[in-house]
Amino acid sequence: DVKVTQSSRYLVKRTGEKVFLECVQDMDHENMFWYRQDPGLGLRLIYFSYDVKMKEKGDIPEGYSVSREKKERFSLILESASTNQTSMYLCASSLLGADYEQYFGPGTRLTVT
């Protein structure tokens, strides 16, 4: 079974802190994604990566950066956390190409106070 793990289920940070969210997948998937999920807005793509050291902006990259130094690991960085970044963050991975499903991690609920 594909497994996507995220470093924390719940996280509380203060405004202005630098926040790291880690995601690891164990199925050698090329693609990795970071989404945020807010009520009524569905999932919105922050960044994705299709290869090591490659990254592409999604719909809402402002205030975030990412790092992919190894194929299995994709990190989301909040450079200076703000209260409007309080959300559920979901990581996903998939094979490269057409007609592949995404496998999701359990999510990290981040609260910025």
Alpha-carbon distance 92 to 6, whole Å? 10
Question: Is 69 within 8 Å of 53 (Cβ atoms)?
Answer: yes
The region of 11-19, 36-44, 61-69, 74-82 touching other proteins under the rule CB under 8 A is 36-44
Which residues lie closer than 8 Å to 3 by C-beta, 6 or more apart?
Answer: 25, 26, 27
The region of 11-19, 34-42, 66-74, 79-87 touching other proteins under the rule CB under 8 A is 34-42
How is residue 23 written in tokens? 């995601």
Footprint (CB under 8 A) of other proteins, residues 44-73: 44-45, 59
Q: Is 43 in the site for other proteins (CB under 8 A)?
A: yes
CA 50-101-71 angle, 5° bins: 30
The region of 11-19, 37-45, 63-71, 76-84 touching other proteins under the rule CB under 8 A is 37-45
Q: Which residues bind other proteins (CB under 8 A)?
A: 4, 31, 35, 40-45, 59, 88, 90, 92, 97-99, 101-107, 109
